[in-house]
Amino acid sequence: MEALTTRAKEVSRKPMSFAESLYIPNILKGMFITFGHMFKKQPTIRYPEQKREFSPVFRGLHVLNRDEQGRERCTACGLCAVACPAEAITMEAAERLEGEENLYREEKYAARYEINMLRCIFCGLCEEACPKDAIYLSETFAPANYSRKGFIYSKEDLVIPNPLTDPEGYAKAKGAPRAINN
Amino acid sequence: MSDIPLFKVTIDNISIEVPAGTTVLNAARMIGGEVAPPAMCYYSKLEGSGGKCRTCLVEVSKGSEKDPRPMPKLVASCRTTVMDGMEVKNITSAKVVDARASIVEFLLLNHPLDCPICDQAGECHLQDLSYEHGKEGTRYEFQRRTFKKHDLGKYIQLHMTRCILCYRCVFTADQLTKKRAHGILDRGDHSEIATFIEKNLDSDFIGNVIDVCPVGALTDKTFRFKNRVWFLKPMDAHRDCPTCSGKVTLWNRGDEVFRVTARKDQWGEVEDWICNDCRFEKKKTSDWVIEGPRLIDRHSVIAQGHYAGTVGMHKPTETFSAVHHGRQPKLLMDIHSVSEVNQADIDLSIIAGPAHSNNFNSNKD
Ligand code: SF4
Ligand code: SF4
Ligand code: SF4
Ligand code: FES
């Protein structure tokens, strides 16, 4: 039969010699290799104390953005939901009442907005579709959870902290400003 | 019909014989496809409509057999009748294509960029027109015109800023209801559709102005903001209506009727006028006899996620328990127990107007 690869080695079925059957030299050889790795550069990092730098195009957990005056930008236009290949986004719209102008930017807003993170594939198409700059994929992972219920993100989980009342939370959710090389 | 002579007309190198008195636009529609110029104001079911928007401009390169001179300017095809031997250029004429792009720019001068909020989005003729014939950018740098808000009753929502002054609604009100109560006030840039005798708006057929409006200026208040049209399921349905034909299209989400409209043909014109009762009051599936899914042009965003034929009319048979000797599938999570969207106790379809924060908050625990 023709060999599938040139690197194939035939298994030797010879009975072991006395020196081999002692094992100790081979064990020492193995331990020496392990010991030698202590002086090499570590490829791993100590997560979560240490974190890797995100790539500028990292697509993590979604945030629903607010404008400079702290009003929600999303107007429930449904374009993110129609663009979503995983059908992860659902919403229900409502009309802004008088007196709610400081909460919502437009006449119509999303009263309910939900992303099912079990379905989401973090492709970022929702971000691309949004005409209102309302949805962004941030630099955060979706945290692990013991139950499936924890992956249904409602508006409370998604809307970014108000930049006027909670500027720190807002800056944190927005992520560090990054240099985009282009 | 035999005493009406047939005229031969050639549009974009396709010849057709039509009875004298036919407009160029209708002759082109008989050929169909891309040859038919877009029309924003002409409506075949409304007498006297057309001639307002100029989107249907075509070039007449040969006037007729007897007088073969070309017409000096582009003409509105909805208002020009054919002549024997006439030769017309629509999409084959660079002049027409260019002029149409300019017309779109004019129509959009004062039109707000409202599509994300507008209920007409997805079935708006102006959206289609600008997508197909318009240019990307705008050169307009001034304040767009604004209007004082008018309340057109509890059924109809008017957004005057979106109006393109096509006059279709005025003709509809005039010809269908016999007692027109709204018209166009003022002139030029200040013209607006307004009620001057507001109480007359509750005529039985006034709801049809919603369907004829090519843009989102007149929309259905009972459907306002409830969903986007492309998430709904259009179905042909009918009922025994004493006032109108009762033939409608239902726009459902699940079993909830979100909206009722007239059926529209391939030119976006209604097939039968329907009455207010059918349109605004019959918001239960049990009010209707459902015929089947409405065929939607596959280029429309509404067609996304929809299937033609009988798909979706029957519940598929569950095979899981059959092949597992009667064992039911184990549900790891029922989405409705977690999700806040589409809750059973909030029936959006039967709320009279658009939902407000109190509709949602009152049910919060
Ligand atoms: S990232 Fe992609 S899959 Fe996830 S919600 Fe957005 S569009 Fe859908
Ligand atoms: S997030 Fe953007 S695309 Fe999605 S509904 Fe809101 S405004 Fe529309
Ligand atoms: S409201 Fe609509 S139908 Fe009436 S003139 Fe304006 S655009 Fe035309
Ligand atoms: S359709 Fe002919 S001018 Fe409007």
Candidates B39, B60, B329; CA nearest to B167 is: B39
pLDDT surpasses 50 at B148: yes
Indicate the average pLDDT of chain A. Answer: 88
| Domain positions in chain A | 62-174
B345-354 pLDDT, tens digit per residue, is: 778 888 888 9
pLDDT surpasses 50 at B195: yes
- Residue pair B208/B176 in contact by the 8 Å Cβ criterion: yes
Q: Which pairing describes strands B86-89 and B6-11: parallel, antiparallel, or unpaired?
A: parallel
pLDDT surpasses 50 at A182: no
CA angle B302, B303, B304 (to 5 degrees): 90
CA angle B159, B104, B100 (to 5 degrees): 150
* Structural Rg of chain A based on CA atoms: 27
Most confident of A108-117, B200-209, B326-335: A108-117
Beta-bridged to residue A168, according to DSSP, are none
Q: What is the DSSP string of A26-82?
A: HHHHHHHHHHHGGGSPP----TTTS-PPPPTT---SEEE-B-TTS-B------HHHH
Q: What is the model's pLDDT at position B199? A: 47
Query: In which band, very low, low, confident or very high, does the pLDDT at B182 lie, cut at 50, 70 and 90?
Result: low
A102-131 pLDDT, tens digit per residue, is: 999 999 999 999 999 999 999 999 999 999
Query: How many Å apart are CA B198 and CA B151, to the nearest integer?
Result: 9
- Residue pair A95/B354 in contact by the 8 Å Cβ criterion: yes
Candidates B201, B195, B251; CA nearest to B222 is: B251
- Residue pair B263/B270 in contact by the 8 Å Cβ criterion: yes
For chain A, list residues whose CB is within 8 angstroms of any CB belonging to chain B. 75-79, 81-82, 90-95, 97, 100, 106-108, 111-112, 114, 116, 131-132, 147-149, 152, 154
For chain B, list residues whose CB is within 8 angstroms of any CB belonging to chain A. 115-117, 121, 224-228, 230-231, 301, 304, 332-333, 335, 337-342, 348, 353-360
Distance (Å) from CA B295 to ligand 1 centroid:
29
Chain B nearest-CA distance from A165, in A, is 22
Query: How many Å apart are CA B176 and CA B159, to the nearest integer?
Result: 22
B273-311 pLDDT, tens digit per residue, is: 999 999 999 999 899 999 888 888 878 888 877 766 666
pLDDT surpasses 60 at B204: yes
Q: What is the model's pLDDT at position B181? A: 57
| Residue given tokens 């008017």 in the structure block | B158
Ligand nearest to the CA of A125: 1
Nearest to B338 among A76, A81, A152 (CB): A152
CA B114 to chain centre: 16
Q: Name the amino acid, one letter, at B262.
A: A
- Residue pair B234/B251 in contact by the 8 Å Cβ criterion: yes
- Residue pair B14/B30 in contact by the 8 Å Cβ criterion: no
- Residue pair B42/B49 in contact by the 8 Å Cβ criterion: yes
The percent of residues above 70 in pLDDT, for chain B, comes to 89
Query: In which band, very low, low, confident or very high, does the pLDDT at B312 lie, cut at 50, 70 and 90?
Result: low
Query: In which band, very low, low, confident or very high, does the pLDDT at A175 lie, cut at 50, 70 and 90?
Result: low
Average pLDDT over residues A87-99: 92
pLDDT surpasses 80 at A152: yes
Q: What is the model's pLDDT at position A10? A: 85
Nearest to B225 among A82, A93, A100 (CB): A93
Q: What is the DSSP letter of B2?
A: T
A11-49 pLDDT, tens digit per residue, is: 888 888 888 888 898 899 999 999 999 999 988 888 888
CATH code at A62-174: 3.30.70.3270
Q: What is the model's pLDDT at position B240? A: 92
ipTM of the prediction = 0.83
Query: In which band, very low, low, confident or very high, does the pLDDT at B363 lie, cut at 50, 70 and 90?
Result: very low
B31-77 pLDDT, tens digit per residue, is: 988 899 999 999 999 988 999 999 999 999 999 988 999 999 999 99
Q: What is the model's pLDDT at position A180? A: 42
* Structural Rg of chain B based on CA atoms: 24
pTM score, two decimals?
0.82
